[in-house]
Structure 1
Amino acid sequence: MIQLTTFQEEFANLPLNQKIYAEGKFGCGKTTAAIARLNRILENVALGSEILTFIPNRTLAKPYQEAFSSRGVKPQIQTYNGFIQRSLQIFWPIISEKAGFAFPEKPPCFLTIETAQILMARLIESKLEQGYFSALRVPSSRIYNQIMISMHKAAAAEFPFQDYAERMKKSWTGEKSLLQIFDQTQECGEIFKKICYQNNLLDYSIQVEVFQQYLLPLKRYQKWLESSYHHFIYDNVEEDIPAAHHFARVLLKNCQSALIIADHLGGFRSFLGGDPSSAAELKTLCDRQIVFEKTLICSDSIQSMAMCVENPFIAQKDLPGDPKTAYTFHPYHQYPAMIKQAAADVADLIHRQNVLPSDIVIIAPLVSDVLYTSMERELRIQNIPCFIYRPSRPLIGENASKSILTVIALIHPEWGIHPRLLDIVQMLQTIIPNLDPIRGHVLVARAFKEIFNDVQEAVDYEIKAFSEIPSDSRKRIPTSIGLLFDTFRQWILSNKGIEETPDISLSRFFHTVLTKNGFAAGNEGAEELNLGIKKVIESLKKFRVILEHVDQDLLSWKDYFRLVNEGMIAAQYYEDWFLQPENSVLISLASAYAVMNRPVSYQIWLNAGSPRWWERIYGQLTNDIVLSRSWQDGDQWDIQKEYEANNDSMIRQILALLSRCRKQVRVYASELSESGQDQKSRLLYLFADLSYRFGKNKDFMEGIANKLTQEISSDAFYPGIDDKDMNIAGKNEEEILGDESNQFLLEEDGR
């Protein structure tokens, strides 16, 4: 049982008829105190359904799922999207006709981000052929996703999508020739919405709009809310959208008690519509505002480092500890040398200092396949397993799910997805663990022959039995592997062109083939494959629901597999969050780790020289600041606003990472990127400044600062910024504040 601090106990014991707004940095005990208060509420209510607990993402539900009373009463835990889906299903007969759906007597069908992208791709295929979005040099799958996100953000900020193009064009300061893409985006979005209303399909944006415009204003619905929910808890409110905050305002007026919890350093889901400023407005509707100030996680040195980042002019005597011991900085010229040394230092922590692997996280601004492969190899040499977390990665981008999709492609050549021989080798290695790459290539080269299937009218493979391949090749492959291959071959041939849906075929493949001795599902370490199969089956099931709901002429399985192979952005799967083995080191994106709410003792920051630490997630069609409620009509998204947003984002992200670190941050930088290109980052300036002020590697870091100033021209680093102004070493605060040429820099650094 968790031991509460005195402050947390006092918080939990506040009267149960109060509405409280609790805020503070991560690690100050807000959620722990909220759960203690929730347990107290559970002991005083008859039904757990009277308590509504809101979270922005279902992966954050675990702490609340463990809360229950002595009588077994548990709260209702929901995301905003999950709650409005349930509400729309219950009240659908009342609002469907008024909302404008073509078949109000039929039930609604909810689209996921995957099924919505597939439908969008099918509907605007002719538009792309006409040259729409030709000015954008991005894959078509990214265009579908950005159109969907633009509709989501408009609904989240509660402004009509019909205003999207005008809003974006007014803010645009780039090439005039690109203005047409905003009109094209709006046109494609309106085509999508029209078809959805004709078929009772609701994607995320339509769900939010229908709920906010037609259901929430109903007095009947508000009475139902008032009678159903008497206690309301809303954690990580800053990561949710303004539409969710609007709904929270309605609940706050009707509930007996409420608890709103905000993280000062949050806002990492702004690219999905999250709005901390909108969340802060809920403070005025609460009876009490309580600030959690004392961290329960960070050491004094980490706190001191965070204070120095937040306030560059703080005196050392005002710090609780020595910031020099909070971090180490390791610069390298070559990218591979940086990876190798970082892995060696992780091994030293685990093998010599007895740090648990799960108490270490490796963080990078961008976790590419190159970074993961090289880091995984170096850690494997040190006998250290690792686990990578990359949310919403395309199904075709993960080895396990790609292999399973290859199996489906082999039994359904009529769907037009013809796998390469290399993909088949990879698939066989995945399902037959003892098959090495060399023998896998030999087996596939001799057993698979490309043909034209007259029955399916598509390019296909003729697959020979193991006994039919040339004897010289057969001798190189163990008989046990050959028998497993024949089992796989027989299943493929017996299911070629089968009429059942692919999710059912995959379920049978798992139970009749993969669970047999010698195949991957029955071996140790099969978690990744099993999760990959589960994700693919879940994705296929959700698409099957849509196919059963619409006309056959609108969508088909061919559309699904075409878009998956194009790299469609996948949905987020709950299991990814908790799959990490206990004895493994986590590798994650900086922003993804920040929302995991999982503190560790040691953080390894890779590739500190990458500009990705400073650059925000940005899509040409989905500028999250322009599409937010705080954007003023008539403002323009110029270079200064982008600089301000990038700098604020980097500082907030660094502070958020530090708040999740107990002991030390180890920073690694390489002068060259993974592709061999020279790279520089604002993050290097920050560490150069810290080291200069506190005398840590003073000569070396001063050399880096001078080199950055000399080598990075204003055009190369950031247009419009004179890098000479950044050389403020040796000046005191009064001199800097009195120098007008530095005012812009000071504002950006928050000084």
Structure 2
Amino acid sequence: MTDVLVELTPAQEAAIAAEQTSFLLGSAGTGKTFALQQRLLRLLQAGEPAYTLLVIVAEPDQAQGYLDAVHQSGLGSYADLKISTYNQMAMEMVKLFWPLVARSAGFERPYHPPTFLSYDLAQLLMWHIITPMLNEGAFADLRLRPQQIVSQLLDTLNRAALNSLSLGDAIERQVRTWAGEPERIRHLNEAADAARQFRATCLRDSLLDLSLAIEVFDTQVVQHPEFHKYFSERFRHLIVDNIEEQTPAGQNFVVELMDETVTTAVAYDAAGGYKRFLAADPLGANTFRSLSAYAFDFKESFITSTPLTHLANLVENQLMFTNKPFAEAQTAVLGTVGGRYRREMVIQLAEALVEMMAEHDLHSSEIAIIAPYLDGALRYMLGNALRDAGLPYYLLRRRSSPRDEPRVRAWLTWLALAHPDWGLPPSRYDMAEALTLSIHGLDPARAELLAEWLYQPETAHLLPISELPERIESRIGMDFVGLYEEIRLWLAGQDGSDSIDLFLHSLFTLLSERRFQPEPDVAGAAVCDWLVQAATRLRQSAEAIGLATPAAVGYAFIDGINQGLVTANPPELGDPPDPNGIMISTIYGYLLAGSPVRVQVWLETAATGWWDIPNQPLSNAFVLAQSYDPGQPWTMDNDFQIRNQLLSRIVRGLTARCSDGILLATSDLDRRGVRQDGPLWRALQAVR
């Protein structure tokens, strides 16, 4: 392709034009993805039908860059262009080839169409399985909330499949490699029982969670001759971005296809592999260099600078005992802000950003605030401080627990009150919170009075306003009392025949009227939309996962959210996100989906959260990696080494996505009042 408006490097030009199989290696910001996008355009310009092209990306969000490139090129129709993640393709192909593989995969009713379980539905099914186990004393003395047990059990299933391990092999690895207290073996065996029950339920009822879909695709579909006929007659060119973020199952899939395509191009981020907790295998991805006819090294960064590279070297030297140049690291640090408490840190940060933007002609969209965690209190403080400073912002979120959002709790409160037979009576606190969020201008104190006098939590019964003493009514205000009564009468008029999604839609219609909310309730609409979609998915899959009555569906819906089950598609809260605002993200959220920026803020730099790995006693991601020797126990030394290695990669990845420098922001004390002095803070001692 010759009409590209930017000057290409020799490595990019060669990679764009390469025939057969090619391997693109380089750090983030060296132009690998751009080269793959231009390669795609070159194929289309040469007359290759979009129908014959397959692009595999590591994250769904990464597809947009390829679509934008094709759209802006003006090359014509590309509706048939296939851009997918490995997991998405596995789901689609299992559905397409179901009649050919269901019986051999072990499903008891292969003639029964499959039901695909989203992550939230898989959690509900696992919750249904472990509840009787918990009641009988399983997982006793394990310091985990029930929701954490559910997520770790699903993690084990998913990691087994994504590492091309059988469930039995994965369970055996967990037990054989455990080198700690013997009591944990009992917990691992209980986890194995739950995982086997979950898998047996799926095979009996034709349910496909992510783990089973991947296993069926990896062991059945990809090995079937009809699949290879289908693939070779449709796809002629394969493009794979971020192969280091692919799992062994995904990498095996690409290897299987390389011999069947006319051309294959694979890109590898040299410092990547951030999805190791999700079974990514950066070590296994190295083999693609030897499997490819051509290899191209991308060494020139379009983003970062020598001082930032030296800053990454400094941290790596401290953590991994290397000896890389770091003389210019000091100039990569733009400053340090802080305070004794988090609130002081956040206020100083907002002031520093305003000053920096004015001095350096910096736009808000050129700044990213990156933190190891974003709890509700920190999000609240950041949001207030940035708004007070007049700085637009948006949250880049991947997973969240809907229970943490007050509006979600409010909607569930009204749902439970309309269905007292479900046996989930809200507390008085829940009732007061729901009133505050549903009636504009009603403050928590008066809402609490209404809940105290007119709500009976034992029976989930709302009393009429005739029961309210006149002195209390005058304290609350007649207008607010009247709106309460309108909600009570509306709830009393519900006969329970509507499905949850229809009920929630009708409730939103009522509460969005001007007497309840004078201004459009954008956040309420987003929460309602998310709840309606979640309820619809549950209703459509209820029978398949064993929820036979409306009451059982309702109970599972409310109880699942209240127990803290998480969602991969959290609702948008507050005002619509401003894409031109400051990005606020967790570390891995930014590394996997964030755009390069001029300035990064490393928030809570002294926190151990930068160095921590998830506490997962029931699912060790590193032991379940296909490349790990199951004959070797997992020791404290392994744990210490992997933490240092991951932090080194994190810093390398962050600095590769930054051009001007880093602003360090930290507080002396963490949210619990404990003094902070984490490994990253110590590694940066020479430059802070």
1:632 pairs, out of 618, 624, 629, with: 629
Distance 2:580 2:594 in 1: 19
Which residue is 1:43 aligned to? 45
Shift of 1:204: 1.1
Residue 382 of structure 1 is matched in structure 2 by 389
| Distance (whole Å) between structure 1 residues aligned to residue 511 and residue 265 of structure 2 | 48
Query: 1:334-413 residue pairs with structure 2 within 5 A?
Result: 334-350=341-357, 355-413=362-420
Counterpart-to-counterpart distance in 1, 2:464 and 2:395 = 37
Q: Work out which of the residue numbers 620, 624, 628 in structure 2 matches 1:623.
A: 620
Cross-structure match for 2:241: 235
Q: Residues 19-65 of structure 1, C-alpha deviation per residue, up to 9 Å, x if partnerless?
A: 22112111222222221221222233453221111122212221122
Asked if the contact 1:12–1:34 (Cα under 8 Å) also holds between the matched residues in 2, the reply is no
Q: Contact 1:415–1:561 (CA<8 Å) still a contact in 2?
A: no
Counterpart secondary structure, 1:629? coil
Contact 1:580 1:586 (C-alpha < 8 Å) held by counterparts: no
CA contact (8 A) 2:403 2:562 kept: yes
Aligned pair partner of 2:582 in 576, 581, 585: 585
- The 5 A counterparts of 1:413-424 are 413-424=420-431
Distance, in Å, in 1 between the alignment partners of 2:545 and 2:171 is: 30
Q: Structure 1's 426 and 603: CA in aligned 2 closer, same or farther, altered over 3 A?
A: farther
| Letter aligned with residue 165 of structure 2 | F
Deviation, 1:536, is 1.7
Q: Residues 299 and 483 of structure 1: is their aligned pair in 2 closer, same or farther, counting only changes over 3 Å?
A: farther
Write the distance in 1 (CA, Å) between the matches of 2:571 and 2:625.
27
Report the CA distance between 1:232 and its aligned residue.
1.2
What is the one-letter code of the residue matched to 2:400?
R
- Aligned residue in 1 for 2:177: 171
Residue pair 1:59, 1:574 contacting (<8 A) in 2 also? no
How many Å apart are 1:425 and its aligned residue?
Answer: 3.2
Q: 1:652 maps to what in 2? A: 649
2:141 maps to: 135
Distance 1:281 1:429, change over 3 A: farther
Alpha-carbon distance, 1:229 to partner:
0.8
One-letter amino acid of the structure 1 residue matched with residue 540 of structure 2: V
The residue identity in structure 1 corresponding to 2:199 is K
Label 1:612 to 1:413 Cα distance change in 2 as closer, same or farther (>3 A): same
- Alpha carbons 2:235, 2:261 under 8 Å: kept: yes
**Structure 1 residues 10 and 211 mapped into 2: Cα distance closer, same or farther (>3 Å)?**
closer
Alignment of 1:460 with 2:455, yes or no, is: no
Q: Distance in 2 between matches of 1:534 and 1:219?
A: 43
Distance 1:92 1:575, change over 3 A: farther
Distance in 2 of aligned mates of 1:378 and 1:35:
39
Aligned to 1:502: 500
Which residue of structure 2 aligns with residue 492 of structure 1? 491
Q: Deviations over 1:707-747 (max 9, x none)?
A: xxxxxxxxxxxxxxxxxxxxxxxxxxxxxxxxxxxxxxxxx
Name the residue aligned to 1:327.
334
SS at match of 2:103: helix
Moved more, 383-392 or 642-651: 383-392
Count residues with an aligned counterpart: 676
Structure 1 counterpart of 2:270, which letter?
H
Q: Residue 124 of structure 1 aligns with which residue?
A: 130
Whole-angstrom distance in 1 between the partners of 2:439 and 2:201? 44
Deviations 1:434-469 (A, max 9, x none): 4443444344445x32166xxxxxx2121535x874
Query: Could you list the runs of 5+ residues in structure 1 that have no partner in the other structure?
Result: 453-458, 692-696, 698-751
Give the Cα–Cα distance (whole angstroms) in 2 for the partners of residues 573 and 43 of structure 1.
Answer: 39
- 2:345 counterpart letter in structure 1: M
The match for 2:539 is: 544
Cα distance, 1:336 vs. partner?
Answer: 3.4
1:612 matched to 2:577? The reply is: no
Alpha-carbon distance change, 671 to 256 in structure 1, aligned in 2, over 3 angstroms:
same
Confirm whether residue 677 of structure 1 aligns to residue 684 of structure 2.
Answer: no
Cα 1:76–1:553 shift into 2, 3 Å: same
Distance 1:280-1:428 versus aligned 2 partners, 3 A rule: farther
Given the two structures, how large is their TM-score scaled by the length of structure 2? 0.91
Change (3 A) 1:596 1:463: farther
Match of 1:72 in 2: 77
Q: Spell out, residue by residue over 1:320-353, the C-alpha distance to the aligned partner (whole angstroms, 9 max, x if none).
A: x664253323454444332332232123335665
Is 1:530 the equivalent of 2:536? no
- Helix, strand or coil for the counterpart of 2:394? strand
Counterpart residue type for residue 58 of structure 2: P
Distance, in Å, in 1 between the alignment partners of 2:483 and 2:54 is 52
Residue 113 (structure 1) aligned to one of 111, 119, 122? 119
5+ residue gaps, structure 2, are: none
Q: Do the aligned partners of 2:394 and 2:579 also contact (CA within 8 Å) in 1?
A: no
Q: Does the C-alpha gap of structure 1 residues 431 and 259 become closer, same or farther in structure 2, counting only changes over 3 Å?
A: farther
Closer, same or farther: CA 314–46 of 1 in aligned 2, 3 Å: closer
Cα offset for 1:375? 2.7
- Name the CA distance, whole Å, in 2 between partners of 1:645 and 1:473: 61
Partner of 2:193: 187
**TM-aligned CA distance change 1:438 to 1:235, over 3 Å:** same
Deviation at 1:314, TM superposition (A): 4.3
Is 1:211 aligned to residue 210 of structure 2?
no
In structure 2, relative to structure 1, the CA distance for the partners of 1:396 and 1:322 (3 Å cut) is: closer
- Is the Cα contact below 8 Å between 1:4 and 1:33 reproduced in 2? no
Deviation at 1:361, TM superposition (A): 2.1
Q: Is the 8 A contact 2:59 2:593 kept in 1?
A: no
Cα distance change of structure 1 residues 61 and 436 upon mapping to structure 2, 3 Å threshold: farther
Q: C-alpha separation between the residues in 2 aligned to 1:139 and 1:678?
A: 26
Determine if the alignment matches structure 1 residue 62 to structure 2 residue 59: no
- Give the whole-Å Cα distance in 2 for the aligned partners of 1:598 and 1:502: 38
Give the conservation status (yes or no) of the 8 Å contact 1:329–1:668: yes
CA distance in 2, matches of 1:575, 1:254: 42
Aligned partners of 1:449 and 1:372: how far apart in 2? 32
Distance 2:263 2:519 in 1: 51
The change in CA–CA distance for 1:476 and 1:7 in structure 2 (over 3 A counts) is: farther
Contact 2:17 2:39 in 1 (8 A): no
| Equivalent residue letter for 1:178 | R
Partner SS state of residue 631, structure 2: coil
Task: Rate the CA distance shift 1:518–1:662 in 2: closer, same or farther, 3 A.
Answer: farther
Deviation at 1:369, TM superposition (A): 2.1
Q: What is the TM-score normalised by the length of structure 1?
A: 0.84
Structure-1 separation of matches of 2:599 and 2:559: 42
User: Matched residues in 2 for 1:170 and 1:598: separation?
Assistant: 41
Matches of 2:601 and 2:169, distance apart in 1: 44
CA distance in 2, matches of 1:374, 1:124: 37
236-245 or 339-348: bigger deviation = 339-348
Deviation digits for residues 394-440 of structure 1 (CA, Å, limit 9, x no counterpart) = 11112333332223222222222222233233333434444443444
The 5 Å alignment of 1:182-331 reads 182-310=188-316, 313-315=323-325, 323-330=330-337
Residue 218 of structure 1: how far off its partner (Å): 0.9
- For 2:337 and 2:418, the matched residues in 1 are separated by 51
2:366 aligned partner, one-letter code: D
